[in-house]
Structure 1
Amino acid sequence: MEKMREKEEKREKEVEEKREHSHSIEDATRKPLLVDELEHVMQRISEAEALLLGVPAKPIMVLRPPPIPEWSVKSPWMFTKPKEERFLKSWREEWAKYVLEWAEALLIHLIGVNEMLSRDLFKNLSIDDLVDILDYMCLKNWCKWWDKKKTLIRIYWKSLEEWKEVIWSWAVSQGLEYISVMDLANVKEAFSTIPREELEFLLNNLVKEKRAVWADKKTKTIKLIFT
Structure 2
Amino acid sequence: MTNVEWPWQYSFPPFFTIQPNIETRAKQLEAWKTLVLDYHKASQQAILDISEAERSPLFNNASIKRRLPSEGIILVLESLAKKGNAEPCDKSKSRWYIYWHTLSEWADIVYSWAQETGQVNSVCTLYEIINAPDQEFTGLNQDVLIKALKVLESQRKAEVILDDDDVAGVKFF
Does the Cα contact within 8 Å between 1:109 and 1:155 map onto a contact in 2?
yes
Counterpart residue number, 1:203: 149
| TM value normalised by structure 2 | 0.73
CA distance in 2, matches of 1:76, 1:167: 40
Q: Which of the two has higher C-alpha Rg?
A: 1
Worse overlay, 113-122 or 149-158: 113-122
Task: Give the match's secondary structure for 1:222.
Answer: strand
Please state if 1:104 is matched with 2:38.
no
Please state if 1:193 is matched with 2:140.
yes
- The amino acid that maps onto 1:110 is I
1:130 to 73, 86, 95: 73
- The amino acid that maps onto 2:5 is P
| TM value normalised by structure 1 | 0.58
Pair 213,109 (structure 1): closer, same or farther in 2 beyond 3 Å = closer
What is the alpha-carbon root mean square deviation over aligned residues? 2.8
Counterpart residue number, 1:18: none
Larger RCO: 1 or 2 (CA < 8 Å, sep 6+): 2
The alpha-carbon deviation at position 72 of structure 1 amounts to 1.8
Does the Cα contact within 8 Å between 1:178 and 1:221 map onto a contact in 2?
yes
Pair 163,118 (structure 1): closer, same or farther in 2 beyond 3 Å = same
Pair 210,115 (structure 1): closer, same or farther in 2 beyond 3 Å = same
Please state if 1:141 is matched with 2:78.
no
Please state if 1:221 is matched with 2:169.
yes
Higher strand share: 2
Task: Give the match's secondary structure for 1:78.
Answer: helix
- Percent of aligned positions with the same letter in both sequences? 22
**Alignment gaps of 5+ in structure 2:** 61-66
1:164 to 82, 107, 111: 107
**Alignment gaps of 5+ in structure 1:** 1-62
Worse overlay, 114-123 or 149-158: 114-123
